[in-house]
Amino acid sequence: MDLSALMTMENIFVQMENHGADPQELDRSVDQVCQLLLASLPPSPVYAEAILSCKDDDDASYSGGGGLDRISALPDALLGDIVSRLPTKDAARTAALSTRWRGVWLSTPLVLVDTGLLPPDASGGGDGDVERPLPLDSSGAVAAAVSRVLETHPGPFRCVELISSAMDARRRELARWLHLLAVKGVRELVLVNRRRPMDVALPATVFALAPLSRLHLGTWRFPDTAALPRGAGFPHLRELGLYCVHMEDRDLDFVLANSPVLEHLGVYYSQRRIVLLRLASHSLRCVQIRMCIVGEIAVVDAPRLERLLLWEMIEFGSCGRTKLRIGNAPKLQLLGYLRPGIDVLEIGNTIIKAGTKVSPRTIFPWVNVLALKVHFEVRHEAKLLPNFLKCFPYVVNLHIKSEQAHEPAGKLNLKFWQEADRIECLQSSISYVVFYGYRGERSELTFLKYILGSGQVLEEMVIVLVKGLFSSWDEVDDKLLKPLVSVKMANENCRQEKEILPILLQDCSCTLHGSEHQDIAILALRVNFGVLKEVTMLVSFLRCFPNIETLHIKSDRDYEPTGRHHAKFWREVCPVECINSHVKKIVLHEFQGNKCEFEFLKFISRTAQELQALLLMLTSQIYSSIDEDNEVNSQLALLSFASEECITSLLGPEVRTYYGWVFLMCPCPFRVVHIRRFIFAFHRPELAEWTHHVADKGVEHLVLINKPNTVHRTLNAFLPVNILRCAALRRLFLANWIFSATTAFPRGADDQISALPNNLLSEIVSRLPITDAIHTTSLSHGWSRIWHSIPLNLDNSQIKREGEHFVDEISNDALVARVSSILLSHPGPFSSVRLTCGNMGSHEDTLKSWFRAFAAKHLEELTFLNLHYPNYLTVPGDLFRCKSLRWLYLVGVQLPNTGTIPPTHMFHELQEICLFRCILHERDIENLLTCSPKVENLSLISNTCSCPLQLHMCNRSLRCILYWASLLEELVVVSAPGLERLILWKDYASDWDDCKKIRICSAPKLKVIGYLNPSDHVLQIGDAVIKNDMKASATVVVPSVEILAMAVRFGVRKEEQMVPCFLNCFPSIKILHVKDTSAKNAWNYKIASDLSLYDPFGFVVSAITPA
């Protein structure tokens, strides 16, 4: 077979097929390539395990279809975000839930992942360790579904992933898909061709996807860029991944040249040898090349390049050598993996060879993370290692991967490294070294000794062992630790501080960081006592912590026992210093009672001289009866402890056993007791017993936190009366308890709570839920007056009973009756009332009585939410008689006729107004502000009206105005001497077609304004409308503004030209927020350079943040 003719991977498969290879085997090989490819793709934005279900059988509270639909009440933006994360099938099905959901999917930028359209039996099977096959659309059903989704959804498309189809049979559909993606706008695209042939031509229409910011292509033949028209490219592309793509060098050059904002480039498993990869881009920040054959990589001009990663490059004779030529890359900080002796390194015009003299032309001073791959048993490769290190004098982190040589060719001893010329980075900058793949070879050990002996600022070395190569800790000690400990380290500060240079030994199954840690007193380990290797490492770990006093060990389950119960090992093991002289308490968690664990306990009992307590935490799966517990006790009784003071105890699996044991075993007085996260409703006898002990032991600080019963969704745990016997209590913290009038006090007991001062009792009752506060009136004659004497705080959600819902008519009628009863029975004053109502059309008289009560009983804070749609409900006119109001929040209502408000009806104390989704009429806002002389905050959110409003602000007390997506034609700040913030807010400025003119007449304290949108907002300062090329003057500036926010569609020249005009009106801004709302995310550099001429950018502006 002529290998020189096999230029692509597909050619290899074709020739193998011509030479008699099994086609099924070739398909499996392609599947393996695709498996590797799909594993390298970025994570999908869709939660594959998400399930859309109208009923949850596991939750009884939602059965019967009467549950409150809280999800539908969420804002549109949040609902759209939820739908975009569902699999495509479920996302489309949400349109059938209700009229509220009908338009959510169509109005949400589409996220389409075709694997979610596969039938269940095609999504991959397999059990146990059987590898699951990749999902593949063999029937064409997925392709048809993709076509329907792309045709139906109006766009735009946020993310589209098509990875399940063999594209050779779907060329017509593919052309249609790309056309729809271009017309409707796609931002992220993952397009993978499955099955052979692997060089299916990718349509050139992919270059019509101008809005793309992220593109990943897999198993294609790239379009011939020589035939593309001028101007073709990806103007907004920031991330490009090419997986198993057949493309010419000139094609990659074309993509880089025509992607002006490309930051991340990845080339993986290239189908052909890349002769020359030229990196010439002013935007590239990261380049990754993995499992490719590359002849030369030339970093020609990459001023922003920070990371260049070469992963698992293929070594294929002389073709596997890569020449890396570094030119202009002043920000390159991470480089690797380079292969000395295989790769050719050229800096400037100098090729680095063995013996190359160090000069300013042969060093690259910006790299601080360097990774190298070395065959230490190949002499000419290892000899080049010092020369490569000399080229990067300021490396801080050095990663070395040792590769095993198939044909060793000479080894270097320590003398070679000691006679090497000075390596600057080792002497002055390298502080962290990671050595991967240590096998115990002499050449590897000599290099490690050299690093330790030369690293003047070395702080930490990590050595990763080859998995399974070392059978015991003693072998590691002989082949690594002992030789390294004998090295005289260059960093003498470590020895002066009486520390040993930290060394990490890693064998995939366990890690040990540090040789000795003198200050650690508590250690926790996890061990499988049935595996000899882990038991051996347990002893080694304990020797590294000589001063521990408390030892926690969790016993893993004995799934793979080796070496029986290791009795001989524990008899012959050398003494462990911490066990002999320091450990005072040992807790063995998940104790199973097998022979391996008891052999360890025998070792502890013989050697632990200072042990005071041995606690065995039993597992609930094994110890479920008292007889089994007694059996463990009998075996513990046979142990003879070296410490006569040692107490052994068993702790059962239930928390109640633990607390009961604590109270019984400790006769001394308690000072602090915390019991939390426990469902006391299931353990009332234990609770009574514990509180009895709390009273007898003289507890001073007590915390009792009841965990609610999540099954019945009730607290149903009553505070025990024993708590009243705790005479020594100084601090008491209770949470999630019920105090009921039916609680029986013991005869003769003092009612100490009722003896508290009235002001303190009032404070307690005011913090209770409204139902519990009302129940206190039946406790006694003294309590009956408390609730009536405190200001009322009413939230009708607290009086809603289980199964009731605001939108249900019967439930709503019952809630209305309860609210009326409370408002009528309480004498006032009313502090806060929060009412969430359904349909109030049949309760018009009741609604009027409520507002009369609000006025008569001096309500201070009112929140009124009308959930019924459409919102034709009109608030009664008695609202304007509520002279004590300080806070007003109305949702989904209409204001009464504000034009007929008598002059005597004033909100003298009103400070904050919020109108959300209300229906407003002409001059409603002006009239409302006129009768609110102290209002400071005004929020208008998603309001509507019969015609666009002209809002004129004239108020001396206003400090903040929030206008959010309400229909408005003109906003005029006529006179607002106290106004500080004018917030104009909506998600997408390009969709604003409601607010037109923003006019500022008199606002001397205005500091914050935005978002201003040059396309839809006409800005007027005084009498002058701000236009393009308007010259700055004192009459068209607002000098008080310090924070400005703008929403601009960059790429639209008319809007870009208005940016400097707007900025010129605010000469004193210090913080500028700019939100790019364009579909074409481009910045006009000519405009940017012009902006530097203006005073805000040249002298005053201190921070610019893109939103």
The residue written with tokens 């020189």 in the block is 4
Which residues partner with 526 through β-bridges? 554
Query: Which one of 700, 717, 752 terminates a domain?
Result: 752
Can you give 718-744 as a three-state secondary structure string? Answer: ECCHHHHHCCCCCEEEEECCECCCCCC
Q: How many domains does the chain have?
A: 3
Q: Is residue 508 part of a domain?
A: yes
| Predicted pLDDT at 744 | 42
| Predicted pLDDT at 654 | 40
Q: Is residue 230 part of a domain?
A: no
Q: Is residue 16 part of a domain?
A: no
| Burial class for 471, CB neighbours closer than 10 Å (0-12, 13-18, 19+) | exposed
| Predicted pLDDT at 610 | 86
The residue written with tokens 């500022």 in the block is 1000
Helix crossing, 442-454 with 379-390: angle to 10°?
20
| 457 neighbors 429 (Cβ within 8 angstroms) | yes
Q: Which domain holds residue 1089?
A: 948-1107
Instruction: Report pLDDT digits (tens) over 496-534.
Output: 222 233 344 443 333 333 334 556 778 888 888 888 778
Q: Is residue 348 part of a domain?
A: yes
| Rounded Cα–Cα distance for residues 690 and 663 (Å) | 8
Cis peptide upstream of residue 1096 (ω within 30 degrees of 0): no
| Rounded Cα–Cα distance for residues 973 and 46 (Å) | 46
**For the CA atoms of 432, 438, 442, 443, what is the dihedral angle to 10 degrees?**
-60
Q: Is residue 1088 part of a domain?
A: yes
| Predicted pLDDT at 320 | 63
| Rounded Cα–Cα distance for residues 29 and 23 (Å) | 10
| Predicted pLDDT at 1094 | 32
Closest CA to 322 of 349, 351, 291, 296: 296
| Predicted pLDDT at 663 | 43
What element of type H or E holds 813?
helix 809-825
| Predicted pLDDT at 660 | 43
**For 197-320, where are the alpha helices, taking DSSP H only?**
249-257
Structure tokens at 401: 């991967």
Q: Is residue 895 part of a domain?
A: no
Query: Which one of 515, 533, 565 terminates a domain?
Result: 515
| 967 neighbors 946 (Cβ within 8 angstroms) | no
Structure tokens at 1007: 């500091």
Query: Which one of 736, 752, 768 terminates a domain?
Result: 752
Statement to judge: residues 353 and 502 lie in one domain: yes
10 Å Cβ neighbour count for 210?
16
Residues of the chain with pLDDT under 50: 1-6, 50-66, 123-133, 494-516, 559-561, 563, 653-668, 671, 676-677, 681-682, 709-715, 740-749, 987-995, 1080-1107
| Rounded Cα–Cα distance for residues 689 and 361 (Å) | 82
**For the CA atoms of 353, 357, 358, 363, what is the dihedral angle to 10 degrees?**
-30
| Rounded Cα–Cα distance for residues 133 and 118 (Å) | 13
| Rounded Cα–Cα distance for residues 1042 and 1006 (Å) | 8
Closest CA to 390 of 413, 372, 414: 372
| Predicted pLDDT at 936 | 93
Q: Strand 522-527 relative to strand 550-555: parallel, antiparallel, unpaired?
A: parallel
| Amino acid letter for position 630 | N
| Amino acid letter for position 69 | D
| 476 neighbors 470 (Cβ within 8 angstroms) | yes
| Amino acid letter for position 177 | W
Instruction: Report pLDDT digits (tens) over 581-640.
Output: 888 888 888 888 788 888 888 888 888 888 888 888 777 556 555 566 667 777 777 787
| 721 neighbors 692 (Cβ within 8 angstroms) | no
| Rounded Cα–Cα distance for residues 1031 and 1029 (Å) | 6
| 874 neighbors 851 (Cβ within 8 angstroms) | no
| 542 neighbors 578 (Cβ within 8 angstroms) | yes
3-state SS assignment for residue 547: coil
- Angstrom CA distances, 545 to 500, 532, 622, 1000, stand at 13, 21, 32, 71
Q: Is residue 79 part of a domain?
A: no
| 934 neighbors 884 (Cβ within 8 angstroms) | no
| Predicted pLDDT at 309 | 92
| Rounded Cα–Cα distance for residues 563 and 554 (Å) | 20
| 299 neighbors 272 (Cβ within 8 angstroms) | no
Structure tokens at 966: 């309400």
